[in-house]
């Protein structure tokens, strides 16, 4: 958690080359919104906003105030459990700081200020985990949360051989390999210039959307489904305010956080099978001081209405539990006239999204003949869908923009994604 300023969303894309039809979401996390899930509460029921900083040293108090002024006061994160339970906008406060640098909270605890809730949310490796069902999230992501990056390539190779193909460890490394290559491969001096697939494909999508957006309103930006974070850094080049990347894949968020905090990329680059090369190289990125990464659910974002002026949702729609809820959340958090760059390959998979929640991809007997792009248009403002989101209007679209992913030395995937630029209509023009 960067104090100077201010983590879908889901990350990356599943590929048929991944074991078990692996999807872009963190393994096992189904994105359920369980109102009655076991709750983790503050250890001291009498804690409050006033005394949350009282137990900290004077040296910590000024940092808490910095966070409140430059980070929390700007975005004012809300308790996701309270929002789900009844729409209550209960703010989060800092309970404790266990580890920090001069400008960063590395480890600590956030707490809901609602005395009937007092839900706790950890900060781990600089990444706050702000999800409603924290118990389920942590239990399903414990391998990523507890993993270490200080092991040698030889030791990691031995562990990979022991775990074998199809294991959680193999899945973890494959995801990092595919998306870190696409996001940061252009900065890697060891990367071959004649590679069959060129890194930066997702950055091309973002830039193409930006080029069609036109004038933007002032305010913070959110990158929903930021994966390992390069798109968030890219947004910071064009936004004068803070940029927040959110995702639910903790391993990818930790990679993004390392780039943010230490200016270096470390990841396992897949050679073939379960053979990986450990890559490490510097990444000094423009605008990094404006960026932060949080673990949040793109279908239930912990922010108030109209908090952001700009949003990106790149290849996330077919990776969330409820695509419709994701669209509604983007509409809710955008300011009037705020813009969004949106893309989707419509690579539907029941491991990520129930068939009933797909936008197209089934029921070819219908008027849309199962076409996802037709379904999405019908949901936007002016569409004929019974639950059309009247606040979001379509400004620009391109139906077949290439997006490439590297799986290993001899395997690549190429998608043709639907790219859209959306705008939130002003209140006066909404029905």
CATH number (domain holding residue 209): 3.40.50.150
Question: How far is it, in rounded angstroms, from Cα 402 to Cα 69?
Answer: 41
Do 277 and 156 touch, CB atoms closer than 8 A? no
DSSP per-residue string spanning 11-22: -S---TTSGGG-
Do 304 and 329 touch, CB atoms closer than 8 A? no
Can you give the pLDDT at residue 148?
A: 84
Domain that holds residue 332: 145-429
Task: Locate 398 and state its tokens.
Answer: 């391109």
* Ranges of residues in the chain whose predicted pLDDT is under 70: 1-73, 103, 428-431
DSSP per-residue string spanning 103-146: SBEEEEEEEES-TTT-BEEEEETTEEB--S-HHHHHHHSHHHHH
Q: Is the Cα torsion angle 124, 129, 133, 139 positive or negative in sign?
A: negative
Task: Locate 119 and state its tokens.
Answer: 């839900």
Does 110 map to a domain? no
Do 144 and 122 touch, CB atoms closer than 8 A? no
Q: At what angle are helices 153-163 and 168-184 packed, to 10 degrees?
A: 130
State the total domains in the chain: 1
Can you give the pLDDT at residue 10?
A: 36
Do 318 and 344 touch, CB atoms closer than 8 A? yes
CB neighbourhood size of 331 (10 A):
21
Does 136 map to a domain? no
Dihedral pair phi/psi, residue 222, rounded to 5°: -125, 135
Does 120 map to a domain? no
Does 126 map to a domain? no
Can you give the pLDDT at residue 74?
A: 83
Can you give the pLDDT at residue 370?
A: 85
Q: What is the pLDDT of residues 162-204, one digit of tens each?
A: 999 999 999 999 999 999 999 999 999 999 888 888 999 999 9
Q: What is the pLDDT of residues 116-126, one digit of tens each?
A: 999 999 999 98
Question: How far is it, in rounded angstroms, from Cα 259 to Cα 5?
Answer: 16
Do 160 and 174 touch, CB atoms closer than 8 A? no
Does 140 map to a domain? no
Do 199 and 182 touch, CB atoms closer than 8 A? yes
CB neighbourhood size of 104 (10 A):
18
Three-state DSSP at 378 gives helix
Does 308 map to a domain? yes
Dihedral pair phi/psi, residue 252, rounded to 5°: -70, -40
């Amino acid at each position: 958690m960067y104090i100077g300023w201010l983590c879908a969303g889901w990350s990356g894309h599943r590929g048929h080359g991944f074991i078990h039809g692996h999807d872009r979401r963190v393994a096992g996390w189904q994105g359920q919104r369980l109102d009655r899930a076991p709750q983790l509460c503050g250890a001291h029921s009498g804690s409050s906003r006033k005394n949350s900083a009282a137990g900290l040293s004077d040296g910590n108090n000024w940092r808490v105030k910095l966070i409140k002024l430059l980070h929390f006061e700007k975005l004012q994160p809300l308790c996701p459990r309270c929002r789900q339970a009844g729409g209550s906008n209960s703010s989060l406060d800092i309970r404790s700081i266990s580890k920090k640098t001069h400008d960063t909270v590395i480890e600590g605890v956030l707490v809901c200020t609602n005395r009937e809730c007092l839900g706790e949310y950890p900060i781990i490796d600089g990444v706050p985990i702000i999800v409603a069902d924290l118990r389920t999230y942590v239990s399903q992501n414990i391998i990523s949360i507890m993993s270490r990056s200080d092991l040698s390539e030889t030791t990691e190779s031995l562990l990979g051989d022991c775990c074998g193909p199809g294991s959680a460890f193999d899945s973890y490394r494959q995801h990092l390999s595919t998306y870190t290559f696409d996001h940061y491969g252009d900065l890697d001096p060891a990367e071959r210039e004649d590679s069959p697939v060129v890194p930066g494909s997702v950055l091309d999508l973002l830039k193409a959307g930006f080029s069609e957006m036109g004038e933007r309103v002032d305010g913070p930006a959110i990158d929903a489904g930021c994966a390992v974070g390069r798109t968030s850094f890219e947004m910071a080049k064009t936004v004068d305010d803070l940029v927040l990347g959110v995702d639910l894949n903790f391993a990818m968020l930790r990679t993004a956080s390392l780039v943010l905090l230490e200016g270096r990329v470390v990841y396992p680059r897949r050679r073939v099978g379960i053979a990986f090369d450990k890559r490490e190289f510097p990444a000094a990125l423009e605008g990094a001081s404006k960026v932060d990464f949080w673990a949040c659910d793109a279908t239930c974002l912990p922010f108030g209405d109209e908090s952001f002026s700009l949003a990106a949702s790149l290849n996330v729609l077919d990776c969330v539990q409820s695509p419709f809820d994701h669209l509604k959340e983007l509409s809710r958090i955008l300011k009037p006239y705020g813009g969004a760059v949106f893309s989707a390959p419509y690579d539907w998979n029941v491991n990520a999204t129930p068939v009933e929640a797909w936008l197209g991809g089934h029921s070819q007997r219908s008027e849309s003949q199962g076409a996802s792009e037709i379904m999405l248009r019908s949901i936007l403002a002016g569409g004929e869908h019974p639950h059309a989101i009247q606040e979001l209007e379509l400004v620009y679209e391109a139906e077949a923009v290439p997006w490439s992913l590297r799986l290993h030395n001899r395997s690549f995937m190429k998608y043709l994604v639907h790219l859209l630029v959306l705008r939130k209509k002003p209140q006066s023009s909404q029905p």
